[in-house]
Amino acid sequence: MNHEPLLILPFDHRSSFSKHLFGWSGELSKKQKQQISDYKDIVYQGLVEVASGKPNKKHFGILVDQDYGTPILKDAKKRGFTVTMPAEKSGEEAFTFNYGNAFGKWIEKIKPDYVKILVRYNPQNTEINKIQLKRLSRLNDYCKSHGHKMMFELLVPATEKDIKLAKTAKAYDTKIRPIHTIKAIKEIKKAIQPELWKMEGFSKADWKKVLKALGKDTEVIVLGRGQDQKSVEKWLGDAASFDQIVGFAVGRTVFFKPLQDLLAKKITKKQAITRIANNYSHFVNLWQKAKKV
Between CA 79 and CA 53 the distance in angstroms is 11
Q: Which helix (H) or strand (E) holds 75?
A: helix 66-79
Percent of the chain with pLDDT over 90: 93
Q: Would you place residue 3 in the very low, low, confident or very high pLDDT band (cuts 50, 70, 90)? A: confident
Q: Would you place residue 227 in the very low, low, confident or very high pLDDT band (cuts 50, 70, 90)? A: confident
With b for 16 or more beta-carbon neighbours within 10 A and e for fewer, the 27-59 pattern comes to eeeeeeeebbeebbbbbbbbbbbbbeeeeeeeb
| pLDDT score for 44 | 98
pLDDT at 250 over 70: yes
Q: Is residue 1 part of a domain?
A: no
Instruction: Provide the 3-class DSSP secondary structure of residue 183.
Output: helix
Q: Is residue 10 part of a domain?
A: yes
Q: Is residue 80 part of a domain?
A: yes
Which amino acid is present at 176?
A: I
Q: Is residue 229 part of a domain?
A: yes
Q: Is residue 90 part of a domain?
A: yes
C-beta separation of 284 from 46 below 8 A: no
Between CA 105 and CA 89 the distance in angstroms is 15
Nearest to 82 by CA among 236, 196, 1: 196
Between CA 249 and CA 256 the distance in angstroms is 14
Q: Is residue 192 part of a domain?
A: yes
Work out how many domains the chain is built from and give that number.
1
Mind listing the pLDDT tens digit for each residue in 129-186? Answer: 999 999 999 999 999 999 999 999 999 999 999 999 999 999 999 999 999 999 999 9
User: Which residues form the domain of 27?
Assistant: 6-291
Q: What is the mean pLDDT of the chain?
A: 95
Running DSSP on this structure, what letter comes out for residue 201? -
pLDDT at 293 over 80: no
Q: Is residue 187 part of a domain?
A: yes
| pLDDT score for 1 | 60
Q: What is the CATH number of the domain that holds 241?
A: 3.20.20.70
Report CA torsion sign: 229, 232, 236, 237. Answer: positive
